A = this chain, B = another copy of it.
């Protein structure tokens, strides 16, 4: 918990002979913070252990606060400089996808190790409680943006920094650079939830049995097929067949109940015993009606239609699972 309260930092252990000379070296330390209040809420914010345990950070920042490396606090360098960043990640929880918008890392000392560096990398991972060393030569002027490329951490939680590379009188490599920059992008958006006002796109309920079957097929493939298989044959000794099933064709109520309340204990289908578990599925009445109507329409089943009203009725019976509580 000391880390969650901000106890972290980098210790650089250089080889005896030192590191190769570069033009600029900077220290960038990422950390995630968990507060009672939301991002940007005013006042001294107590630590939220609940959010920390869920790894649901309010702030993700470089060097200890939102804006520590932006605007007047930006890192600086000149065109032609080779820049070395020592990047640490105190966590406590999050793994960083460290990236500098506008640059490719010429060399990455992965996870802060001293093995042969990787080269020409756009984004490198920094473990929680880990580090990385990256180097790159600035080929042109501009404002380069440091981010954790888990990008909502950058634009909405603070994990954004700037490296301003001035031109001076050096070669700006105009063949790779238009000379135009636009500061109106890459601004923090803040953490306030934005919601787009718009009309509902919820589709109308299925208008007829054909529509029900079509929609049910999609749902079947997404939810049921993994166990009951694409041909409805199930898997012997594990998942009962839905094809030509005496269980299904014998009772719509039992079929609906199996989906909305689940099923456990021994069942016999087409003469074979199964002692597996059918989980109850969190589907709407409409979806259950569609998927069962689809199943009834296939594989020599009896072609019944199941309506949302029938599902609703069976759901209300609530053949309570023994624990009652869930």
Binding site for B on A (CB under 8 A): 1, 3-4, 13, 36, 40, 42-47, 49-50, 52-56, 66, 91-95, 97-99, 108, 110-125, 127-131, 147, 149-153, 155-157, 184, 187-203, 215, 219, 221-223, 225-226, 229-230, 235, 261-264, 277, 279-283, 321-326
Known: A111-B108, A121-B112. A191 touches B53 (CB 8 A): yes
23 A-B residue pairings within 8 Å (CB atoms): A4-B152, A43-B203, A45-B201, A53-B157, A91-B149, A97-B128, A98-B127, A99-B127, A108-B111, A115-B116, A116-B116, A122-B129, A124-B127, A187-B230, A189-B223, A189-B226, A191-B222, A192-B222, A192-B281, A194-B281, A197-B321, A198-B321, A201-B323
Q: Say yes or no: A111 contacts B129, CB within 8 Å.
A: no
B-side contacts of A127, CB under 8 Å: 97-99, 123-125, 149
Ordered nearest first, which 8 A-B pairs have the shortest CB separation? A129-B149, A200-B323, A194-B279, A123-B130, A97-B127, A113-B118, A115-B118, A197-B262
**Pick from B45, B50, B111: contact of A123, CB under 8 Å:** B111
User: Is B53 a contact partner of A156 (Cβ separation < 8 A)?
Assistant: yes
Given the known interface contacts A40-B222, A110-B118, the answer about A197 and B151 at a Cβ–Cβ threshold of 8 Å is no
* Cβ contacts under 8 Å, A116 to chain B: 115-116
List chain B residues, Cβ under 8 A from A222: 40, 66, 188, 190-192
Q: Are A111 and B115 neighbours in the complex by a CB distance under 8 Å?
A: no
Q: How far is the CA of A279 from the CA of B95 in the complex (A)?
A: 28
CA distance A30 to B132 in the complex (A): 24
| Contact status B322-A199, CB under 8 Å | yes
Q: Is the CB of A150 within 8 A of B321?
A: no
Q: Chain B nearest CB: distance from A276 CB in Å?
A: 11
> Which B residues are CB-close (under 8 A) to A263?
197
A10 CB → nearest B CB, Å? 10
B111 touches A42 (CB 8 A): no
A121 CA to B225 CA in the complex, in Å? 31
A152 close to B322 (CB less than 8 A):
no
Q: How far apart are A59's CB and chain B's nearest CB, in angstroms?
A: 12
Chain B nearest CB from A156 CB (Å) reads: 6
Contact B150–A200 (Cβ < 8 Å): no
Task: Return the contact of A193 from the options B49, B157, B193 (Cβ within 8 A).
Answer: B49
What 5 new A-B contacts, CB under 8 Å, besides A93-B152, A130-B149, A199-B322? A53-B191, A128-B151, A196-B279, A197-B261, A200-B324
CB-defined contacts of A150 to chain B, threshold 8 Å: 55, 91-95, 128-129
Q: How far is the CA of A53 from the CA of B32 in the complex (A)?
A: 13
Q: Would B91 and A97 count as touching, CB distance under 8 A? A: yes
CB-CB under 8 A from A128, the residues of chain B are: 97, 123, 149-151
